[in-house]
Structure 1
Amino acid sequence: MENPLRTDLFNIKTIRMNNLKIAWRNALRSKLFAAFNILGLALGFAGFILAYLYINRETSYDKWNPNYENIYLVGLSYQGNHTDLTPAALATAIKAKLPEVEEVGRVSYFPWEMPFIHDNGEAIVKDWKMADLSIATMFGVAAHGFSLTEEEHPEANLVTSAIANALFPKLPEREFEPRQIALQSEESGSFPYIHGVAKERGLSNLAYEAIFFKANLAGDNPGDPLQYQTYIQVKPGTDIALLDKKIKEIYKREISQRHHTVTSAFAKGETYLDPLQNLHLRPQHGSNTGYITVWALGILSGVILLLAGINFANLMVAQANKRAKEIGLKKVFGVSRVRLMLQFMGEVLFQCLLAAVLAWGMVVLCRNGLQKWLAYDLAAFAMDGQIAWQLLIAASLTALVSGSYPAMLLSGYHPVTILKGSFQTSHRTAWFRHALLTFQFVIALVFIAGMLILNRQLNYIRDGDKGFEPAQVVYIKNQMLLNNPADFKPFRDRMQAYPGIEYATAATSAPGSIGPAEKEFQYVDEVRKADHLAVDFDYIETMGMEMLQGRSFTEAFAADSTNGAIVNETLVKAFGMQSPIGQTIRGCDADFQIVGVVKDSKMQGFEKLVHPTVYSINNTCGQFKTEILIKIKPGTTRQTLAALERDWKSINRLDGAHFRYEFVDQKYAALHAQQEQLESAFSTFTILSIAIAMMGLFSMSAYSISIRKKEVSIRKVLGASVGQLFVQLNRPFLRIFLVANLIALPLAYLLVDRWLATFAYRITVSWWMFALAGRYGIAHCPAYRCLSIAAGSTG
C-alpha cells in the first residue's frame, strides 16, 4: 500500500518544481524583455551617433578661426541669381574707401588638375588656388619654418603635407628649403619654387592642395577679364547692413560699367555679403542641400531616440503588475513616493547609459561598413570628446523623457490595494500604451513613405531625361587653354584618328563643372540674361543633344566660327521667337545669327531650372575653352582609353604623359552627391525605425498574449477557431494601425512635398505611393505576425 506521507511529499516537490520553473520562465521572460528594450535603445543611440558625427563635421567649418564672425564673401546678384565671383577692381576699391574693413583678399582657382613633378617624386594636384597674401591672415594659413608676412615673403607658394610627401618623400617639413618643381612637361619648362609646407588647419571653406600667395594677386588692372572670389574681414561691431549699402554703391558707381564687366548679366545687378558661417552649408550662390541634410539628420536622430524611449516607457507600464508587490511592501515600510520615483529613474538612467555604451561599441565594430554606406568619414570619431558629451546628454534626456511617466505611475500605487491582491493596471494604462504604439506606427510609416518617394525622385534623376546623353562621354582633365577653333583642330583630328573615338570637342563648361557665364543678350528691343557656352565643332554630337530646328555647327559654313549660334528652347520661349532660325541676337558686344535650336539640357542638375542658353564657336564673351570632351564608341572604351594613355605625351605636350580623365556620367552624378548621401542616411534611419518598432511591438504583443492566456484558453475550449482567435487578438492592433495611417500619410505628404520643392524637376506625388507605404507597414507589422502564431499555439 502506497505511503500517503510519501505521496504528499512527492506532490509538494512537484509543486515546488513547477513553481520554480514558472519563476525561472518569468525571470527569463523579464530579462528577455529588458534585453530587447536595451537593444532597442542601443539602436536609437547608434542612429544618434551616426547623425551627429556628420552634423559635427559639417558645422565645424572655420569655427576654429578667430576671425570667424567677421569674415564675409562679397558676391553679385541679379534677378534672383547669385554668383561668388566679382571683378578684381572691386577688392581694390573696397580697401581704399571703407576703413571699417580690416582686410580684403581675392582668391582665384584653376579648374583643371595639374601634375607637380620633382626629381624625387610627383603628385597630381586637384585643388590649386592663387590668393592675395591677406587671405593667409584672414583664414589662418601658416607655413612650417617661416612667417607669411608681406615684408619677408611677398610671394609664398605652399603645398599641403600630403603633396609635399609625394614630391619630397625624404624631406622633413621643418627643414624645407625652396624647391623648384616642373609643373608641366619637359617641353614646357618648369615652374617657380615651392617655398614651404602649409600647417594643418581645421576644416575650412578655403580648402586647397596647393596655394600660391602674392602680395597683390590682381591689382586694379582695368583690362583684367578674370573674376575672383572676394573676401573681407570687418572690424568687430561693424554695422553690416550699412557696409552692404556702401559696397553696393561702390560697385554700381565705379565697377559695373567697366568694359569687362558691362557685358555680364550681373553688371545691372548689385553686390551682397554672405557671412563665412553660411558658406559651407547654405551659400547664397549655391545649393542649401547640405543645410537641409544637417537638419534632417538631427530631426531623424531625435525621432529614432524618441521611438526607443517610447519602447522603454511602454514596456515599463505594461510590466507594472510584476512590480506591484515590491512597491506595496516598500510603501508599507515607509519608503516615500519621491524615493521610489528616484529609484525608478535611476534604473532607467542606468539602462540608457548601458545602451549608449553598447551603441558606441556597435558603431566602432561596424564603422568600416557604415563609412561606405553613409559616404562620410567615421575614422576619428572614437577620440571625439564632442560626440561623447552629446551622447551623454542624449542618454540623460532620453532617461528623463521615457522614465518620467512610468516612474510617477509606479510610485503612485496604493499599498492596501496591492497587498489585498486585487491590483490590476493593464486596463488603466491601455490608453497610454495604445497611444505610444500609435505614435510608433506613425513614425515608421512616415519613414517608409519618405524612403519610397526619396528613392523614386533620385531614380528619376539617375534615369530621367537630361536633355543630353552622358553615357560613353569622357571628360579629359588635362590642361588646355583654347581661344581659337584653329588651335583645337590638330588635337581634334589626332583624337578622331583613333577608331574608338567618335567625336572630340572642347567647351568653356562641362556637366558637373563650373557653370557657364551668364551674360545679357538682346533680340529686337528686348534684353534678357542667358548662359553662354563657347564650344567647338561636334559639341552637340558629342553630348548627344537633340536638334529641334535648324542644324548643328559645321566647318562647311565659315560663318559658324565667327557669328553662328545655337540656342535652347527656353531662350526661344523667353524672347517669344516664332521662327528663330536666321534671327540675330546681340551679346558680349557681338551679333550672333541663330543656326539651330536644341532641346533643353539639365547640365547643372535637376535642382536648377534650365536657363536660356546660347552656344557659339566664337568665345567673344571672354572665357577660355578648358573642358575637353570625347565620345567613345560602345564596346571600345577600355582599349581606347589605354591607347590614349599610352600616346598622351605625343598628343598633348602641355602636361606630358599624365593622362587623366573622368566619365561624364560620374561627374554629373556628383552634382547630386549630397542627395545620394541623404538617401543613404534616410534608408539607414528607416531600417533603424522599423527595427526599433519591431522590437517594441514584439515585446508588447508577447506581453499581451501572456496576460490573455486564460481568455484564449477558455475561448478555445468553447470552440473558437484559430481564425476567430487571430481576429480577436489582432483587432486592437489593427485599429491602432489604421489610426496611425490616417495621421502618418498626410504628414508624410507634407514633408516629402516640401523636400521635393527643392528640385526644379521632380516626380509627381500620387496617392498610390502612400498606399504602398501602408501596405509595406502591414507586411512588416511584428504584432500582426507574432499574435497570429500565438493564436494558433495557445491552448
Structure 2
Amino acid sequence: MFGNYFKTAWRNLVRNKAFSAINILGLALGITCSLLIILWVQDERSVDGFHTNGKQLYQVYERNYYDGKIDASYPTQGLLAEELKRVVPEVQYASSLDYAAQAGSSNTFEAANKINKMQGSFAGEDFFKMFSYHLLQGKAETALNAPNVIAISRRMAEQFFGSVTNAVGKTIRFDNKEDLQVTAVFENVPANSSVQFDFLRSWIDYVKQNDWVHNWGNTSPSTFVQLRVDANPAKVGEQIKDFIYKYQQKDNTFRMELALQPYAEKYLHSTFKNGYVDGGRIEYVRLFIIVAIFILLIACINFMNLATAQSARRAKEVGLRKVIGAARFSLIKQFIGEAMMLTFFSMIIAFTLTVLLLPAFNSLTGKQLSLPFTEPAFWFSLIGLLLVTGFIAGSYPALFLSSLKPIRVLKGSLKFSGGATFFRQAMVVLQFSLSVIFIAGMIIIYKQMDYIQTKNIGYDRENLVYIPIEGDLVKNYELLKDEATKMPGVVSVSKMRNSPTVIEHHTGSITWPGKDPNLTISFADGVVGYDFIKTMKLQLMDGRDFSKDFGADSIAFILNETAASRMGFQHAVGQTVTWGNHPGKVIGVIKDFHFNSMHQAIDPLIVRLDENWNWGTILVRTEAGKTKETLSGLEKICKELNPKFPFTFQFSDQEYTKLYNSEQVVSKLSDYFAFLAIFISCLGLFGLATFTAAQRTKEIGVRKVLGASVPNIVSLLSANFLKPVAISMLIAFPIAWYAMNQWLQGFAYKVSIDWWVFALAGLVTVCIALITVSYQSIKAALRNPVKSLRTE
C-alpha cells in the first residue's frame, strides 16, 4: 500500500513539474531560514549554560531611588563580594570582577622576549570555584588567593611560554610595571560565555591599587555569588536588600538596594525598567523566532494554495478511489504523505543551502555557529521541523481533496465552493500581510539606523583618534602632545578619562547654592585635559575651555546644558559648585553631546581638569584626508616615548558604531527576511497566476474573438490577485506600526513613523505582485485565440 502511495505521489510530482518546483523551492527557503534562526537561537540560549553550578549562581545588581525615579545597574561596591560571603550564611562563594584596563582596551604583557596585548580582568579568589572555566594547570583554591599572581588562558600560555605545562611558576611582566607569577592555566574561554578574558588577576591587587573601594558610596566592579544548595534565593534577596547600610548611613534623598538576578538569565535579560530587569537580547530572540515561524508559514501557505488550486486535476483520481472503496482517512494519509515527501525534498535542499550560507550568516551575526551533527537534539529538531511543516502544508489540501463527492467529480461537475475560494484568498492575504509587515519594519529600522549614524551627536566623530594612556605615556603625555601638535595633519591633542563614546562614571556628590537638600541628582563626571573642547569640536554655549593661562582652572568646572538646567542656572558661568568637598567656579557651558548610546537620555555632565590623570584616552584630532600619514607619525612618537608597548589606536566613529552592534545585525537581517518573505509570497502568486491562466484558456480565447484587447485581458486576470494584496495592506499597516513603535521605545532618541513609510511598503508590494502576475497574464492574453478554442 505504501509503495503504491509513493508511486502515485512521485508520478504526480513529476507530472506537475512547475508546481512541484515552486512548492519545493518555497518550502526549502522557508526551512533554510528556520534552520539558521534555530541555530542562532540555540546559541543565544546556550550562553553561560555550561556552568555546573549554574542554578546557584547569581549576579548582584544595585537599585537606586533618587530624583523621583528608580534606576538599576550592575556596577557594585569593591568590597561587597567579600562582605556578603562573610556576613550572609547562605552565600557559599562570592567573587568580584572588573576590567584590568578600561573597557574596550587591553593590557600589555612581556615574557621570554615577546610583547603582546591581552584582555582580562581582576577576579576574587572564589572565581574558579564558582564558574566552570576548566583549569588545565593549577588549582581553583590557589589560582587567585595571593597578591601578584595571574591565571592565564591556553592561548596566552602557548603564545608566551610555548606550552601549557611550561607556563605555571613562570613570571610575566604586566604593563611594564609589575612582575606577576603564573599560578594557573585555564582552557580558552568558550564562545558561549558572556564574559571573555585571556587572563585573571588577583582581587587582592585590585583592592591594593584602588583606594576608592573602601568608600561604600563608590561602585564599579560586578559582584557574583553562589548560594548554598538549600538556600532560598528570595529570602537571601530580602536579607541583602539594605546590606549597604551596614557600612554607611542612610540618606533620605538617595536610597540604595541590592537585588539578585540568576546568572544564567543575565545575558538575555540585561536591561532595566523602573529598577527591575525588563528585556534585553531576549527581545531579539523572540523576534527571530516569530520571523522564522512567519516565513515558514508563508511557505506552507504557498503549498496549500497551489495544492487546492490543482485539485481539479486530482478530482477524478479521488472519485475513482472512493468508488472502489477508499476511506476518507486513507486519502488523508495519502495526501499528507505526499506533502511529507515534498517537504523531505525541500529539507534536503534547505540543509544544503544552510551549509553554504552558514559562513556568511556567521559573519553577519558575529557568531561561530556550526551544524551540530553529533547532537541527537539537532536531529530530533530536524525531524520535528519536517513533520510539523509537512503536516501544516498538507493538512488543508488533504482535508479538501478527501471531502470531494465521487458522483459529482465523475460527472465532471466539480466546482470550487465559496469557502474553498475564500480560503485561498485569505491565505494570499495572510502571506502578503506578513510581507508588508516585514517591508515596513525594514524601512523603519533603516531610518533609525541612518538617524543614529547621521545625527549630530554634539561632537565631530570623524577624524578623531583614541590612543590609550599606558606605560610611559602617563609621564610623557606632555611631551607627546608637544611633538604631535608640531606634526602636519594634527589639529589638536587632549586627554580624558574613559573615552567620549562611553562616560560611565557618575556622582551624586554635587552641591550648589540654592540646591534642594532633599534632592539628589546623579551627574556623569568627566576628567579631561587642556584643549578638550577644541579637540572634540564641542559647541561652547557660554564661557570658555580650560586654559593654561588661568591657574585656578585646576579647581574649575565645565557643565553641559542639561546639568546647568537641572541646577536651575540661567547663567551658570561664574557660579560656585562643590564636587564632594572641593568647591570651584563654573567657567563654561557646552551644548549637550551624546556620550552614551541613543538608548539613553543625555545625563547631566560635570567636567573637571586633571592633566596628571594616569589612565584613560589621548584624543587626537587630525585633518581630513591626512589620517594615514598622521597615524604613521604618531606611531613613531609613541614608540620613542613608550618603547615597551605596541602602538594601538581606535577611530571614534568605529567605537561609536560598536554601541549599536545588535541593531546593525537586526537591520541587515530584516532586509534579508523582508526580501525572502516577499520572494516566497510571489512564488505562490506566480504559481496561482499560471494555474488560473491555464484554467481560463478558453474564456480568454472567446473574449479575444469578441474583441477584447490585450490590456483588457491583462487587467481582468491581474485584478483578482491584486484585491487580496490591497486587503493585506489594510491589515498589515496597523500591526507594523504597533510592532515598530514598540521597538523604537528602546531608544531615547528616535525617528518618527511617517505615513510615507507605509505608502512605500504598500507600493513596493503592489509593484512586485503586479510584475509577478503580469507575466502570466500577458502570456495568456497574447496566445492565439484559435489555438485556445481548439483546446479541450
- TM-score w.r.t. the length of structure 1 is 0.89
Equivalent position SS for 2:557: strand
Amino acid aligned to 1:550: G
Q: Which residue of 1 aligns with 2:695?
A: 707
Q: Does 1:546 align with 2:539?
A: yes
Equivalent position SS for 1:477: strand
Q: Please report how far the alpha carbon of residue 476 of structure 1 lies from its aligned counterpart in structure 2 after TM superposition.
A: 1.1
Q: Does 1:672 align with 2:660?
A: yes
Residues 307/665 of structure 1: CA separation in 2 closer, same or farther (3 Å cut): same
How far apart, CA to CA, are the structure 2 residues paired with 1:37 and 1:755? 34
Equivalent position to 2:30, from 32, 41, 44:
44
Q: Which residue of 2 aligns with 1:168?
A: 161
What does residue range 104-115 of structure 1 map to in structure 2 within 5 Å? 104-110=94-100, 111=102, 112-115=105-108
Equivalent position to 2:43, from 57, 63, 87:
57
Q: Does 1:317 align with 2:308?
A: yes
8 Å CA contact retained: 1:74, 1:230:
yes
Q: Please report how far the alpha carbon of residue 245 of structure 1 lies from its aligned counterpart in structure 2 after TM superposition.
A: 2.4
8 Å CA contact retained: 1:281, 1:291:
yes
Q: Please report how far the alpha carbon of residue 196 of structure 1 lies from its aligned counterpart in structure 2 after TM superposition.
A: 3.5
Equivalent position SS for 2:48: coil
8 Å CA contact retained: 1:607, 1:758:
yes
Stretches of structure 1 lacking an aligned partner (at least 5 in a row)? 1-24
Q: Which residue of 1 aligns with 2:346?
A: 355
Residues 479/386 of structure 1: CA separation in 2 closer, same or farther (3 Å cut): farther
Amino acid aligned to 2:535: T
Root mean square deviation of aligned Cα: 2.8
How far apart, CA to CA, are the structure 1 residues paired with 2:253 and 2:40? 36
Q: Which residue of 1 aligns with 2:560?
A: 568
Residues 701/552 of structure 1: CA separation in 2 closer, same or farther (3 Å cut): same
Q: Does 1:767 align with 2:755?
A: yes
8 Å CA contact retained: 1:565, 1:594:
yes
Q: Does 1:249 align with 2:249?
A: no
Amino acid aligned to 2:79: A
Equivalent position SS for 1:353: helix
How far apart, CA to CA, are the structure 1 residues paired with 2:145 and 2:541? 57
Q: Does 1:271 align with 2:258?
A: yes
Amino acid aligned to 2:580: C
Residues 289/503 of structure 1: CA separation in 2 closer, same or farther (3 Å cut): farther
Q: Does 1:628 align with 2:621?
A: no
Q: Which residue of 1 aligns with 2:604?
A: 612
Amino acid aligned to 1:489: E
Deviations 1:100-158 (A, max 9, x none): 11111111212131222222644321x21111121111111332133222499757622
Residues 438/216 of structure 1: CA separation in 2 closer, same or farther (3 Å cut): same
Residues 174/341 of structure 1: CA separation in 2 closer, same or farther (3 Å cut): farther
What does residue range 122-137 of structure 1 map to in structure 2 within 5 Å? 122-125=115-118, 127-137=119-129
Q: Which residue of 2 aligns with 1:19?
A: none
Q: Does 1:69 align with 2:55?
A: yes
Residues 712/688 of structure 1: CA separation in 2 closer, same or farther (3 Å cut): same
Residues 788/330 of structure 1: CA separation in 2 closer, same or farther (3 Å cut): closer
Q: Does 1:464 align with 2:455?
A: yes
Q: Which residue of 2 aligns with 1:14?
A: none
Q: Which residue of 1 aligns with 2:227?
A: 234
Equivalent position SS for 1:548: strand
Q: Which residue of 2 aligns with 1:344?
A: 335
Q: Which residue of 1 aligns with 2:82?
A: 92
Equivalent position SS for 1:212: strand
How far apart, CA to CA, are the structure 2 residues paired with 1:699 and 1:287? 45
- TM-score w.r.t. the length of structure 2 is 0.89
Equivalent position SS for 1:592: strand
Amino acid aligned to 1:602: H
Residues 741/43 of structure 1: CA separation in 2 closer, same or farther (3 Å cut): same
How far apart, CA to CA, are the structure 2 residues paired with 1:217 and 1:375? 32
Q: Which residue of 1 aligns with 2:528?
A: 535
8 Å CA contact retained: 1:477, 1:628:
yes
Q: Does 1:659 align with 2:647?
A: yes
8 Å CA contact retained: 1:77, 1:266:
no
Equivalent position SS for 2:593: coil
Q: Does 1:598 align with 2:586?
A: no
How far apart, CA to CA, are the structure 1 residues paired with 2:194 and 2:249? 27
Deviations 1:197-235 (A, max 9, x none): 212454223321111245796499736967321111112
How far apart, CA to CA, are the structure 2 residues paired with 1:141 and 1:789? 66
Deviations 1:499-528 (A, max 9, x none): 222222221221344623343322322342
Amino acid aligned to 1:181: I
Percent pairwise identity: 27
Residues 380/558 of structure 1: CA separation in 2 closer, same or farther (3 Å cut): farther
8 Å CA contact retained: 2:175, 2:470:
no
8 Å CA contact retained: 1:158, 1:210:
yes
Residues 379/399 of structure 1: CA separation in 2 closer, same or farther (3 Å cut): closer
Residues 534/480 of structure 1: CA separation in 2 closer, same or farther (3 Å cut): farther
Equivalent position to 1:717, from 705, 726, 735:
705
Q: Which residue of 1 aligns with 2:4?
A: none
Stretches of structure 2 lacking an aligned partner (at least 5 in a row)? 1-10, 786-792
Residues 315/386 of structure 1: CA separation in 2 closer, same or farther (3 Å cut): same
Amino acid aligned to 2:435: A
Amino acid aligned to 1:650: E
How far apart, CA to CA, are the structure 2 residues paired with 1:565 and 1:215? 35
Q: Please report how far the alpha carbon of residue 706 of structure 1 lies from its aligned counterpart in structure 2 after TM superposition.
A: 0.9
8 Å CA contact retained: 1:52, 1:387:
no
How far apart, CA to CA, are the structure 2 residues paired with 1:396 and 1:86? 50
Deviates further, 731-740 or 221-230? 221-230
Equivalent position to 2:422, from 428, 431, 447:
431
8 Å CA contact retained: 1:129, 1:210:
yes
How far apart, CA to CA, are the structure 1 residues paired with 2:552 and 2:116? 43
Deviations 1:298-345 (A, max 9, x none): 111111011011111111111111111221222122221111111111
Amino acid aligned to 1:198: F
How far apart, CA to CA, are the structure 2 residues paired with 1:165 and 1:497? 42
Amino acid aligned to 2:619: L
Q: Does 1:412 align with 2:403?
A: yes
Amino acid aligned to 2:478: K
How far apart, CA to CA, are the structure 2 residues paired with 1:214 and 1:561? 33
How far apart, CA to CA, are the structure 1 residues paired with 2:667 and 2:37? 13
Q: Please report how far the alpha carbon of residue 785 of structure 1 lies from its aligned counterpart in structure 2 after TM superposition.
A: 2.5
Deviations 1:151-176 (A, max 9, x none): 9975762222222232234x2x3464
Q: Does 1:396 align with 2:387?
A: yes
8 Å CA contact retained: 1:45, 1:391:
no
8 Å CA contact retained: 1:132, 1:217:
no
Residues 541/86 of structure 1: CA separation in 2 closer, same or farther (3 Å cut): same
How far apart, CA to CA, are the structure 1 residues paired with 2:588 and 2:694? 77
Q: Does 1:739 align with 2:727?
A: yes
How far apart, CA to CA, are the structure 2 residues paired with 1:26 and 1:351? 11
8 Å CA contact retained: 2:503, 2:524:
no
Q: Which residue of 2 aligns with 1:20?
A: none
Equivalent position SS for 2:158: helix
How far apart, CA to CA, are the structure 2 residues paired with 1:380 and 1:210? 30
Deviations 1:510-561 (A, max 9, x none): 1344623343322322342211111111111111111111111111111111
Equivalent position SS for 2:299: helix
Q: Which residue of 2 aligns with 1:282?
A: 269
Amino acid aligned to 1:52: I
How far apart, CA to CA, are the structure 2 residues paired with 1:146 and 1:376? 31
Amino acid aligned to 2:52: P
Equivalent position to 2:412, from 404, 410, 421:
421
Residues 468/215 of structure 1: CA separation in 2 closer, same or farther (3 Å cut): closer
Deviations 1:681-711 (A, max 9, x none): 1111111101111111111111111111111
8 Å CA contact retained: 1:281, 1:288:
yes
Q: Please report how far the alpha carbon of residue 38 of structure 1 lies from its aligned counterpart in structure 2 after TM superposition.
A: 0.8
Deviates further, 381-390 or 277-286? 381-390
How far apart, CA to CA, are the structure 1 residues paired with 2:777 and 2:554? 76
Amino acid aligned to 2:605: T
